Structure 1
Amino acid sequence: MSSALTDLFPHPIVQAPMAGGVSVPQLAAAVSEAGGLGFLAAGYKTADGMYQEIKQLRGLTGRPFGVNLFMPQPEYPGAGTGSTGAAGAALPSAAAVEVYANQLAGEAAWYETELGDPDSGRDDGYDAKLAVLLDNPVAVVSFHFGVPSQDVLDSLRRAGTLTLVTATTAEEALAVQRAGAAAVIVQGIEAGGHQGTHRDNPETDGTGVGLLSLVAQVRETVQIPIVAAGGIMRGSQIAAVLAAGANAAQLGTAFLATPESGANAVHKEALTNPLFVRTELTRAFSGRPARGLANRFMREHGPYAPAAYPEIHHLTSPLRKAAAKAGDAQGMALWAGQGHRMARDLPAGQLVDVLNAEIAAAKTALSATDEIPEEGAAR
């Protein structure tokens, strides 16, 4: 790992940026103060909203932290015509979104709200946010849903910012390296929230690779540092991904349950509620594959949601907010990784300390195993 990244990861724990109000400054500050790398999620915020959170976080800690950006989504060829792409996969169209909106009419009536405008924007204020981050550099900027241009990565590097980009396959990781990012976030299929695939292809839904196998594949493909993400809840799992070739581990669901997290109380409680026995990947809430606790909304609407991000995200936003206000977990997007039942209600700083102790214990146990002589060997 480069010396700059080593300085950021004296303990290999990165708090995942969780959009939607979870990764608040208080959470990022607590993680960074404990020696990990805290993250703010700029997704779904305005550029000024992001800047205000950065200012607030700087008032809480002098330690390094990161900011995550969503890549702008491309206009779909043939959108509105129901055409197909090069691979033959059906492309989202205005008609498909309208059909889904009609299906959600009953939800809107139930929650006494209106559906959102699906045409509320595709770029998430990307250029404006980049301008803020170039004028007011932070230690790390990460990217989700694609690879930034080399010019963007070079500009951030000149500003003193390290860049990380999410990849879900070895091929995507290679593209990240070729673009010039400092490191790659390798996201396994176990991860909660949105899969950071570079190109959304409905034909590949649910076909992702488990984290340990993916880290090993990527380690044999690229030379840049790897941050492993997906279902990690214990220090022993962090030790495992480090042994597989990662340089650090990114945890989201593990920090979602902390008191500093901005997650809705219903969401936090659902992580260990026996009513929610599994997670699933779904397009129901956003139009892009995302893993969450399986609930009524997923079951009733997931099979019919078109591959249309961010249109479906905008469309369902008022529904999700109304369900959260009503305390109705069955209508919320309860993003969570596969390890959600292992969530611990600990302060974020204490959780970092516990995870570091677990990493040390796992490494000690591994070293002890290595020292046991093989059967029949000289003693």
Structure 2
Amino acid sequence: MSQDIFGTRVIAAPMAGGTSTPAFVTAVHRAGGLGFLAAGYKDVAAMEAHIRAARDAGTRFGLNVFVPDPAQLPPSAAVLAEVEQYRLRLAADARRYGVELPRLRLDDDDEWQGKIDSLLADPVELVSFTFGLPGADVVRALQRAGSAVLATVTTVAEARQAAEQGVDALVVQHASAGGHSAAFAAAEVPGSGVPGTTAELTAAVRAAVALPLVAAGGIMGAADLQSVLAAGAQAGQLGTALLRTDESGTRQLHKDALADPHFTQTALTRAFTGRQARALVNEFVRDHPDAPEAYPAVHHLTAPLRAAAAAAGDAERLNLWAGTGWQRARSGSVAEILAGLLG
């Protein structure tokens, strides 16, 4: 596989939940970057509709798919008990908005097999995976269908596992990235931690595997991009840097919060979804520091609370995903932001 499968040094992260729309990905393409549609949280029909819309616009794009965790489908009895306890702790939030917490949903695999079947029947150029590895059989099937396959990793150990499955490239996500962590395996040396910067993690992965790399985490400007390219990445992946753009599908409440000096830090939290994700620290994050590790059960449990907070314009109870460089996120068009990196 060519080291230059991306055709650009700037990639827009697949941001599920409404941000990475076909219009957003098209704007990235027209500005000289490469965008990824997000299949996460969509049914197969919605995923296919977004693919058609991007194709109709003449856009080059990739598609990202969530890998379900068999250990959470359903959760163990011990984890289920923790989720039930969390439901009790969320009662005050439910009363605040006058909503009812839903019954626990324990079987949501994000329509995994249906999405794989669809992508085999109607391939897209690039398919990336997050939250785990798809399995060597899926990798080979997609490649035979004509897709290049990317896996998202957060450590050298994960990178080696992905390489063993035969993927074509890796997205190397540092802990500084906003939104959900893609981590799926224990640290290679207990207590060793992760390299301190995205460039350092990229260099460590480059030394371990011979695959094209995309570096993700804290890339907000040209200097950040150059640092990961120098460390061995072929491209840098931007998420938070593009959240406030005109074409981003992010809620205006979220965009405004990124520019609000009231918010002074980010943290990794499981409070909203049961999976570690980096967000601006607001009241909800502070109120629920001990949320269980139970994705997607917690995601479904808090969904009506997040919807009610958004409807009420309450940024203190909303999942405000943001990387550590969020204060440098700018408003304006995608083209204006990318011009500073591609110029």
Q: Same fold (TM over 0.5)?
A: yes
**Which one of 11, 16, 31 corresponds to residue 14 of structure 1?**
11
3-state SS of 1:75 partner:
helix
Give 5+ residue unaligned stretches, structure 2. none
Matched letter for residue 66 of structure 2: F
Superposed displacement of residue 208, structure 1: 3.8
Moved more, 347-356 or 256-265: 347-356
**Which one of 210, 215, 230 corresponds to residue 202 of structure 2?**
215
Residue of structure 2 equivalent to 1:140: 126
Residue of structure 1 equivalent to 2:141: 155
Change (3 A) 1:56 1:117: farther
Residue of structure 2 equivalent to 1:98: 84
Of all paired residues, the percent bearing the same amino acid is 46
- Does 2:42 correspond to 1:45? yes
Q: Distance in 1 between matches of 2:191 and 2:114?
A: 32
Superposed displacement of residue 205, structure 1: 11
Superposed displacement of residue 77, structure 1: 9.9
Q: What whole-Å deviation, never above 9, does each CA across 1:223-255 have from its counterpart, x for those lacking one?
A: 001100001110111111000111111000111
TM norm structure 2: 0.95
Residue of structure 1 equivalent to 2:171: 185
Moved more, 151-160 or 120-129: 120-129
- Does 2:254 correspond to 1:267? yes
Residue of structure 2 equivalent to 1:71: 67
Matched letter for residue 321 of structure 1: A
Residue of structure 2 equivalent to 1:227: 214
Q: What whole-Å deviation, never above 9, does each CA across 1:95-127 have from its counterpart, x for those lacking one?
A: 111100010011011112122333253311011
Matched letter for residue 68 of structure 2: P
- Does 2:277 correspond to 1:279? no
TM norm structure 1: 0.86
**Which one of 350, 371, 374 corresponds to residue 336 of structure 2?**
350
Residue of structure 1 equivalent to 2:152: 166
Q: What whole-Å deviation, never above 9, does each CA across 1:41-99 have from its counterpart, x for those lacking one?
A: 11011011111111111122x232011000011135994532xxxxxxxxx2x211110
Q: Distance in 1 between matches of 2:330 and 2:160?
A: 35
Q: Which has the larger radius of gyration?
A: 1
Residue of structure 1 equivalent to 2:284: 297
3-state SS of 1:147 partner:
coil
Q: Distance in 1 between matches of 2:193 and 2:104?
A: 28
Superposed displacement of residue 349, structure 1: 2.3
Change (3 A) 1:101 1:8: same
RMSD, matched Cα: 2.0
Residue of structure 1 equivalent to 2:108: 122
Superposed displacement of residue 128, structure 1: 0.4
Q: Distance in 2 between matches of 1:139 and 1:212?
A: 27
Aligned length: 341
Superposed displacement of residue 8, structure 1: 2.9
Residue of structure 2 equivalent to 1:323: 309
